């Protein structure tokens, strides 16, 4: 298989993986819910101490925390920062819907194709500090020491998500080419 053909196959698999959640209403609803949860988690991870303190005082602070952190990301990195968080949320939503579909169709063994989703989500980070969910695990200081405040790590996390989604392809079709399909 030539390199150009392999890239074409990967892009076709990525397109199939990205379109799968929109094939049914349940998939679309799952995508929206998973993307919303991921967005909230990524925002809360931008300032973990603030999030824990405010939400520890009561859930009635949730809206204030969400708006404050969204504004902080916007003021720090502008639309590109919010765009990175939005893209991570969207790709994570697609990955979750596809993983659930693979689990339902093939079983637990099929989830190895989406193994890149976890590192991508952990390294994703907010646009302002680059900590992502790793901030909750205590690695925010190490990421802050990286050049460009971890921007390369965030972009690398996006590429990981795209790579593994393209590798997995459509959950209801086999992404591995056979002799008959060559």
Write down the domain spans for the chain: 3-168
Could you say which residues of the chain have pLDDT below 70? 1, 107-153, 174-182
Which pLDDT does position 127 carry in this prediction?
A: 39
Which pLDDT does position 116 carry in this prediction?
A: 47
| Cβ within 8 Å of residue 67, ≥6 positions away | none
Instruction: Report the chain's terminal Cα–Cα distance, integer Å.
Output: 8
What region does 25 belong to: left with phi over 0, alpha with psi -120 to 50, or beta?
A: alpha
Which pLDDT does position 124 carry in this prediction?
A: 47
Which pLDDT does position 105 carry in this prediction?
A: 77
Q: What is the spatial distance between Cα 43 and Cα 65, in angstroms, rounded to a whole number?
A: 9
SS3 for 2? coil
8 Å CB contact between 130 and 154: yes
A 10 A CB-CB count for 116 gives 19
E strands of 92-135, at which residues? none
Q: How many CA atoms lie within 13 A of 72 on its CB side?
A: 17
SS3 for 115? coil
Which pLDDT does position 33 carry in this prediction?
A: 95
Residue-wise pLDDT for 18-66, tens only, equals: 899 999 999 999 999 999 998 888 888 778 788 888 988 889 999 999 9
| Cβ within 8 Å of residue 27, ≥6 positions away | 20, 21, 97, 101
Which pLDDT does position 177 carry in this prediction?
A: 57
Q: Does this model's pTM top 0.75?
A: no
Q: Buried (b) or exposed (e) across 23-40, using 16+ Cβ within 10 A?
A: eeeebeebbeebbeebbb
Which pLDDT does position 160 carry in this prediction?
A: 80
Closest CA to 46 of 24, 76, 1: 76
């Amino acid at each position: 298989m030539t390199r150009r053909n392999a890239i074409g196959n990967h892009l076709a698999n990525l397109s199939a993986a990205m379109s799968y959640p929109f094939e049914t209403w349940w998939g679309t609803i799952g995508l929206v819910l998973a993307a919303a949860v991921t967005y909230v988690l990524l925002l809360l991870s931008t300032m973990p101490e603030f999030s824990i303190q405010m939400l520890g005082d009561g859930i009635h602070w949730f809206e204030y925390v969400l708006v404050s952190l969204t504004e902080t990301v916007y003021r720090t990195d502008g639309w590109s920062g919010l765009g990175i968080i939005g893209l991570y949320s969207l790709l994570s939503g697609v990955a979750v819907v596809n993983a659930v579909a693979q689990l339902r169709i093939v079983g637990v063994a099929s989830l190895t194709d989406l193994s890149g989703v976890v590192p991508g989500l952990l390294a994703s980070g907010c646009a302002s500090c680059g900590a992502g969910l790793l901030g909750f695990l205590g690695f925010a200081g190490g990421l802050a020491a990286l050049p460009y405040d971890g921007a390369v790590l965030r972009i690398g996390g996006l590429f990981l998500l795209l790579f593994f989604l393209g590798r997995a392809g459509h959950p209801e079709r086999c992404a591995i080419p056979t002799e008959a399909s060559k």
